[in-house]
Amino acid sequence: MTRASGCELCELAAAAKVVAKDKFAVILADEANYPGFARVIWNEHVREVSDLADDDRLLLNEAVFKLEQAVREVMQPLKVNVASLGNVVPHLHWHVIPRYADDAHFPAPVWAQAVRSTEEAVLAQRRALLPELKRAIERTFANR
């Protein structure tokens, strides 16, 4: 497998915290203000979707779709943001982010300036769903 030295996503894709694995890794990100924030990280160190073979592009797209479904099922967000930027870390990955009207950045992207604070009790309720989300992701990708 091709890995780049010092690439944090290469390290995350190989880490023990991976929830599902294939030619990609699915991880739950440790984002305190965004419980349920997850990523699909391509295992090989590639920069762009167009670097993948046709079958791999389809596999990656299906992985993002399945992850979004699991996040929607468990987290019950108002909206799900799906993003692939890679400007800071040029390693192919997708963010799947549950969004709520009361989150710190809504309706702007999570990378924008925060406009409010989400109540800690609300965040705690959402964090309590993470074990269920982990199980839903494992189930979803086990049936692949």
Helix (H) or strand (E) holding 21: strand 20-21
Helix (H) or strand (E) holding 39: strand 38-42
Extract the tokens encoding 35: 């419980």
Reported CATH class of domain 8-142 = alpha beta
Q: Which residues pair with 57 in a beta bridge?
A: none
The per-residue pLDDT for 1 is 55
pLDDT digits (tens, 9 = 90+) for 116-130: 999 999 999 999 999
The per-residue pLDDT for 16 is 63
- Domain definitions of the chain by residue range: 8-142
pLDDT of 3 over the 80 cut: no
Residue type (1 letter), 68: E
Q: What is the distance in angstroms between the CA of the first residue and the CA of the last residue of the chain?
A: 22
Distance, in Å, from the CA atom of 61 to the CA atom of 142, rounded to the nearest integer, reads 17
pLDDT of 45 over the 60 cut: yes
pTM for the whole structure: 0.91
Contact present, 25 and 18 (Cβ < 8 Å): yes
Helix (H) or strand (E) holding 94: strand 93-99
In what order do the strands lie in the sheet containing 79-83?
20-21, 24-28, 38-42, 93-99, 79-83
